[in-house]
Amino acid sequence: MSECTENPVSSDSIDDPVCVRLDHLVDSTSRRHPDAVALETADGHTLTYRSLVVAAERVCHAVAGSGVRIPNRIGLVASKSVEAYVAYLAILKLGATIVPISSRAPLAWQRTMVQCAGLSLILADPKSWAGARELENLAAVSLVPSPTADPAPDPVPFAREEPQAAGEATAYVLFTSGSTGRPKGVPISHANALSFVRYIVDRHRPGPGDRMTQIFDFSFDPSIYDLFVAWGSGATLVIPGPTDVIHPVRWVSSRRISHWMSVPSIISMAAALRELPADSMPSLRLSLFCGEQLTVEQAEAWMRASPAGTIENAYGPTELTVTVTAHRLAADMHTWPRTSNGTIPIGQPYPGHDAIVVNDGRETDEGELCIRGAQRFAGYLDPQENAGRFLRAVGGHLEPLRENCPPKPDDWYRTGDLVRRDGDGTLTHLGRLDSQVKIHGFRVELHEIEGALRLHPEVIDAVVVAISARLGGAELAAYILGGEVDPRELRAMLVEILPEYMVPPRIRRLEMFPLTSNGKVDRPRLASMATEIGARRAEGRS
């Protein structure tokens, strides 16, 4: 099995002290590998690194030449088109912060992001132009010019609103819903992002000739891995078509993918469709999974399909810049660690980061994961969101920061994730703190039930949701992927493992889980489905 070092890449651009912004990395790569392919879209369009930079400079020229003052933040509403990638780089080259807005997000959500970010200018590619114009009453919307291989015009001087020091300037702002459902803006600086990219390029060793996936939407932070680990190393970014990710073997084989990154749900979907045969993806050197818990069953299925590659399970909330811990699996599956919930550990923090596990204000081996270090953001766009999200050591105690108390670099970010730390410091993700529900007065961890369901040989994957019961309180509903199995058999198995109050009264088999736009299991949709089924049963319609 590869140790991800077969293709050493010159790290001149990564280590160059002059590269203090993400766009500087791309410029440096363009100088070193001008004719290497930087981008390959699903419809066959390609751009070399030279062409990518020239096209981005043309967009800069068009925006600056319009005579407007370049705002500190520029929105991008775009699909995965050539124009979108060019515009992404152009916004950074203009010295502005990019605020990606998913073209598939509800209009109300888009409007909220525009208002929270204070956007006065939004760029849109042709495919997203009509939808983006719905925002014209909030900001100026401009169409991205078509890329061209012609030489870029001479730079046009332009005025910035409030220029910042390059390294400390904000590279991008992404919005997360958190547990409240209200968008929270997460600003990530160039320094945060470069710390991540530099380490990952050294860890994964991509380079010219390698072909990396770009599955995630621009509004989801793993896209930063896709874009800048590729563009900082000279690899090719390969864009999937609408159905390619659901059929990974076909796509990986046809496009000769060497580096894969996605959420683990993709594995379950492919396995459920019986499209993950052994030795079917020999080109893969590295497969990285993040965004959800990676189960042992999922990892084993992917390993059998790509035996020549390495698998890593990575973890990190948006606030900690893409991923901040990782666990690399050994070639021998028999040596893999066995955890209480049947998932692969998330590993240990990257160098330059500290992690503590906290329960009731004290360090422990099972509790909330809190991290600080070079990738930790400096605080939310709305400072009021910082209250309670950071911990500070005060007189030997850990205390949450109060409202209007800005975080310091030594403060820990509270991830809201429940973990267990082993003796060697390896972390296992146990679930979200807000995934705890009360059933008949007992506190229940949904991930424990999911892990128990996956013990059945016919179950490929399982998701458990809590919905409102007819007579008040909460009720459990479980969904599984896999072979035909009687729900009564599953419940009988669970009774032998779990307390009776943790056994879902309803277990339903699906052909596929509904997914969000970023490939994660759509848990709210599953909860809605369970509620609808319960309502029909109550009315005697099913």
Mean pLDDT, rounded, for 293-321: 96
pLDDT, the chain, mean: 88
Mean pLDDT, rounded, for 281-310: 95
pLDDT at 88: 97
The CA distance from 450 to 367, in Å, is 19
User: Over 70: is that where the pLDDT of 26 sits?
Assistant: yes
User: Over 80: is that where the pLDDT of 11 sits?
Assistant: no
Residue 263: helix, strand or coil by DSSP?
A: coil
pLDDT digits (tens, 9 = 90+) for 483-494: 889 999 999 999
Which one, of 347, 357, 287, 358, lies nearest residue 323 by Cα?
347
**Nearest 10 degrees: Cα torsion 407, 326, 260, 50:** 50
pLDDT at 432: 83
CB count within 10 Å of CB 315 equals: 27
User: Over 60: is that where the pLDDT of 394 sits?
Assistant: yes
Please give the single-letter amino acid code of residue 331: A
Task: Let me know: does 214 contact 237? Beta carbons within 8 Å.
Answer: yes
Q: Classify domain 351-432 by CATH number.
A: 2.30.38.10
Which one, of 350, 342, 497, lies nearest residue 428 by Cα?
342
pLDDT digits (tens, 9 = 90+) for 156-191: 555 455 555 555 699 999 998 754 557 899 999 999
User: Over 90: is that where the pLDDT of 308 sits?
Assistant: yes
pLDDT digits (tens, 9 = 90+) for 188-236: 999 999 999 999 999 999 999 999 999 999 999 999 999 999 999 999 9
The CA distance from 266 to 240, in Å, is 13
What's the CA angle centered on 414, arms 412 and 420, to 5 degrees? Answer: 100
User: Over 90: is that where the pLDDT of 8 sits?
Assistant: no
Q: Which CATH superfamily is domain 440-538 in?
A: ANL, C-terminal domain (3.30.300.30)
The CA distance from 501 to 504, in Å, is 8
Residue with tokens 């990154």: 261
Task: Let me know: does 59 contact 90? Beta carbons within 8 Å.
Answer: yes
User: Over 70: is that where the pLDDT of 472 sits?
Assistant: no
pLDDT at 69: 78
The CA distance from 190 to 93, in Å, is 12
Please give the single-letter amino acid code of residue 476: L
Mean pLDDT, rounded, for 418-442: 84
pLDDT at 218: 95
pLDDT at 1: 34
Please give the single-letter amino acid code of residue 21: R
Q: How confident is the model at residue 533 (pLDDT cuts 50, 70, 90)?
A: confident
Mean pLDDT, rounded, for 250-254: 96
Residue 117: helix, strand or coil by DSSP?
A: helix
Bridge partners of 94, per DSSP, are: none
pLDDT at 500: 84
List the chain domain ranges.
351-432, 440-538
pLDDT digits (tens, 9 = 90+) for 97-136: 999 999 888 888 899 999 999 999 999 999 999 999 999 9
